[in-house]
């Protein structure tokens, strides 16, 4: 049974989808546009629960009919997007990349993509933003929720009808507290997992229960609440950013804001917000919002893939317009025809009709695409470029590892490298992912001079003391570095300490040129606000603190400067050779020097006082004008800032001065 149509809810859908599209498109000021997904969850919970409650009250509830409606609502547009996205992936992806895409395709088809991406990505970064089906995680959360929710509502309504609201509020509270806990302990779980997101859908369910019980705002309260609700959503959209701890308690702003608008709109009396949301432009965007959400992300990913990050503002504006056009066509010719007709007869036996055939063919195509062993023909030039992205050129694995615990139970994982047959450890390396990639060269040089050392590091963790990163997934970086310092104190035989990081990203707070990924803010105990200028002050204080404390332990320090960053990794370089061979792919040495100017000034400022050495890899990688992208036709870079193992080993001679 359907519930009364409300134009303002379609308008609220527009408020949900447009910030998501604009945020993903990189439009300024929409830094919190991702909260649109949370608004969708509230709307979904409200509408679906309302339908189920009406069916239960009229004794027309049918679990089969419920899933029948979900299939008609979700599948047609979804399958269309999956087929088109897969065909584009076959054209623009290389075999290894396409194999990963196939896994994400299967997870989308089976509605577990939220967990697939949770384990596949781990934290937000450039690679995450290049996955064309990443946005399907929210659809998976909804469908997992609706596997159990109709059954729950049926049982509670049957046996505890007078307590439906209380029980639902209790489950809502459990999910909310779980989300708040997980956002500070396992941010990826809090973001992607269904238990941590269910409370947002349950807010909509609670609204539907209140509405069924005849509980509405008084007209004057409705006006105030709708205004405050809209203000809360806009605050989230324009004030939140990638450094906001989310979802957790911060998600209450868009969620409760949406709830206030929905409940206020239930009143028969009009209010300004309801009139705004019911306007034709808002309703139009709301009607196509599902298709727009499905289409916008793959279009963005492939456009950026083809433009190699060099898109202009005008091109992006045209792309957003194209998204709206495609979404309208999808809504008009795919969503609506399937949703309005039945896929089978009233006896629930399939009829052979065009819609059933189309759905079966679509499912067959997607299953086929997710299982084929795709091999595209590559030229020798392209094949050599891609060697850098292979498993043989990933960072070396260190097996001889132990975990060191500090006095306050902080810990750091230390792994032996170099000549591990030696008893005495003479050097230690602390690094982030750049340390991870360069340790192959250090290992080679140490073995040449029969020196044993240890490596301690973690991706994304700056190798400086007393720095806290304000982004999700890096809460333990500071404690690991502190534990490393205590490890050095416990090992007087260690004479040399090597520090490696992607220094510029922490000092500048932003990524190189057009590369994807979040901004990086750092702070220490003196930080009052977050800004790029404050990043520099924190970086300098932390650097001085680090070299001072390690020097006081009687250790000699070697700083390894940052390798030049590129806009392109091996796959992008190979793709450029195929589809845009005229594209200028050079790395200008002047760009590198400008990017490193502040970091180099900090190194120079404290070098004489603390007597540390600095090794600059770019001296082996750059001539007077350009820095190398290729070595004998093979890409030096695995991605846009990490070099391949073979090249890390090739430039290992720069470490000889440490061990000689």
**What is this structure's pTM?**
0.82
> pLDDT of 285-313, one tens digit each?
999 999 999 999 999 999 988 887 778 88
Higher per-residue pLDDT: 455 or 213: 455
**Spatial contact of 406 and 443, defined as CB atoms under 8 Å apart:** no
| Predicted local distance difference test score (pLDDT) of residue 278 | 96
* Dihedrals phi, psi of 346, to nearest 5 degrees: -65, -20
Q: Please, what are the domains in the chain?
A: 7-369 (no CATH), 395-566+586-623 (3.40.50)
Degrees to nearest 5, angle at CA 227 with 226 and 232: 95
The secondary element (H helix, E strand) that includes residue 559 is strand 556-560
Distance CA 95, CA 547 (A): 45
Token pair 């080993």 is at which residue?
Answer: 649
**Spatial contact of 419 and 489, defined as CB atoms under 8 Å apart:** no
Percent of the chain with pLDDT over 70: 90
Higher per-residue pLDDT: 450 or 362: 450
Query: What interhelical angle do 113-121 and 137-159 show, nearest 10?
Result: 130
Token pair 């709708």 is at which residue?
Answer: 226
| pLDDT class of 202 with cuts at 50, 70, 90 | very high
Three-class DSSP category at 398: coil
**Spatial contact of 139 and 117, defined as CB atoms under 8 Å apart:** no
| Predicted local distance difference test score (pLDDT) of residue 356 | 61
Percent of the chain with pLDDT over 90: 61
| Predicted local distance difference test score (pLDDT) of residue 170 | 98
> pLDDT of 31-63, one tens digit each?
999 999 999 999 999 999 999 999 998 888 898
Number of CB atoms found within 10 A of residue 147's CB: 11
> pLDDT of 316-365, one tens digit each?
999 999 999 999 999 999 999 888 765 444 444 444 455 565 666 666 67
| pLDDT class of 231 with cuts at 50, 70, 90 | very high
| Predicted local distance difference test score (pLDDT) of residue 262 | 95
Q: Are strands 626-627 and 496-500 parallel, antiparallel or unpaired?
A: unpaired
Over residues 201-224, mean pLDDT: 87
**Spatial contact of 240 and 257, defined as CB atoms under 8 Å apart:** no
Number of CB atoms found within 10 A of residue 391's CB: 7
| Predicted local distance difference test score (pLDDT) of residue 431 | 95
**Rounded CA Rg of the chain:** 28
Degrees to nearest 5, angle at CA 650 with 646 and 651: 125
Q: Are strands 468-469 and 522-523 parallel, antiparallel or unpaired?
A: antiparallel
Whose CA is closest to 81, among 315, 305, 302?
302
**Spatial contact of 200 and 41, defined as CB atoms under 8 Å apart:** yes
Concatenating the DSSP letter of every residue in 585-597 gives --EEHHHHHHHTH
> What's the first-to-final CA gap in the chain, in angstroms?
81
């Amino acid at each position: 049974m359907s519930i009364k149509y409300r134009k303002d809810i379609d308008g609220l859908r527009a408020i949900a989808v447009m910030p998501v599209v604009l945020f993903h498109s990189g439009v300024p000021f929409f830094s919190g546009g991702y909260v649109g997904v949370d608004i969708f969850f509230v709307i979904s919970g409200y509408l679906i629960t309302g339908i189920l409650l009406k069916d239960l009250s009229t004794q027309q509830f049918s679990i089969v009919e419920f899933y029948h409606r979900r299939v008609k609502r979700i599948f047609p547009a979804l399958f269309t997007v999956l087929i088109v996205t897969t065909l584009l992936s076959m054209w623009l992806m290389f075999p290894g990349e396409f194999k990963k895409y196939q896994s994400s395709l299967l997870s989308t088809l089976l509605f577990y993509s939220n967990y697939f991406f949770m384990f596949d990505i781990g934290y937000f970064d450039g690679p995450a933003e290049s996955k064309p089906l990443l946005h399907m995680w929210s659809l998976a959360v909804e469908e997992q929720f609706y596997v159990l929710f109709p059954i729950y509502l049926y049982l509670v309504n049957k046996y505890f009808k007078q307590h439906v609201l209380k029980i639902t509020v209790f489950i809502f509270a459990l999910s909310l507290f779980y989300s708040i806990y997980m956002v500070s302990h396992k941010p990826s779980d809090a973001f992607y997992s269904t238990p941590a997101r269910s409370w947002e859908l349950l807010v909509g369910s609670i609204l539907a229960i209140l509405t069924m019980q005849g509980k509405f705002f008084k007209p004057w309260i409705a006006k105030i609440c709708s205004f405050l609700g809209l203000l809360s959503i806009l605050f989230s959209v324009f004030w939140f950013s990638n450094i906001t701890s989310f979802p957790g308690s911060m998600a209450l702003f868009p969620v409760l804001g949406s709830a206030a608008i929905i409940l206020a709109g239930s009143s028969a009396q009009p209010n300004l917000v309801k009139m705004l949301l019911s306007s034709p432009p808002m309703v139009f965007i709301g009607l196509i919002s599902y298709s727009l959400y499905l289409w916008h992300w793959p279009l963005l990913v492939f456009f950026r893939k083809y433009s190699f990050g060099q898109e202009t503002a005008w091109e992006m504006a045209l792309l957003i317009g194209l998204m709206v056009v495609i979404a309208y066509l999808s809504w008009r010719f795919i969503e609506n025809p399937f949703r309005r007709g039945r896929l089978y007869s009233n006896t629930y036996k399939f009829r052979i009709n065009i819609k059933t055939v189309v759905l079966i063919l679509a499912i067959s195509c997607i299953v086929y695409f997710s299982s084929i062993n795709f091999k595209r023909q590559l030229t020798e030039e392209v094949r050599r470029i891609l060697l850098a992205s292979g498993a043989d050129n990933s960072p070396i694995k260190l097996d001889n590892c132990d975990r060191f615990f500090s006095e306050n139970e902080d810990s750091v994982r230390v792994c032996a490298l170099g000549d591990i047959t030696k008893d005495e450890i003479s050097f230690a390396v602390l690094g982030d992912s750049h340390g991870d990639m360069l340790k192959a060269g250090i290992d080679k040089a140490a073995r040449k001079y029969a020196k044993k050392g240890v490596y301690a590091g973690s991706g994304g963790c700056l190798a400086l003391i007393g720095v806290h990163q304000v982004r999700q997934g890096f809460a333990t970086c500071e404690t690991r570095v502190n534990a490393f310092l205590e490890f050095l104190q416990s090992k007087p035989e260690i004479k040399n300490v090597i520090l490696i990081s992607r220094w510029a990203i922490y000092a500048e707070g932003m990524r190189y040129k057009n590369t994807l990924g979040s901004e990086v803010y750092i702070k220490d105990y003196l930080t009052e606000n977050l800004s790029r200028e404050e990043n520099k002050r924190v970086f300098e204080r932390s650097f001085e603190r680090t070299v001072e404390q390690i020097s006081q332990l009687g250790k000699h320090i070697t700083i390894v400067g940052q390798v030049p960053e590129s806009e392109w990794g091996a796959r992008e370089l190979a793709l450029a050779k195929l589809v845009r061979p005229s594209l200028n792919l050079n790395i200008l040495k002047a760009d590198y020097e400008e990017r490193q100017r502040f970091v180099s000034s900090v190194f120079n400022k404290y070098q004489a006082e603390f007597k540390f050495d600095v090794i600059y890899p770019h001296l082996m990688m750059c001539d007077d004008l350009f820095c190398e992208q290729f070595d004998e036709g093979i890409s030096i870079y695995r991605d846009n800032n990490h070099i391949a193992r073979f090249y890390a080993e090739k430039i290992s001679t720069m470490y000889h001065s440490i061990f000689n």
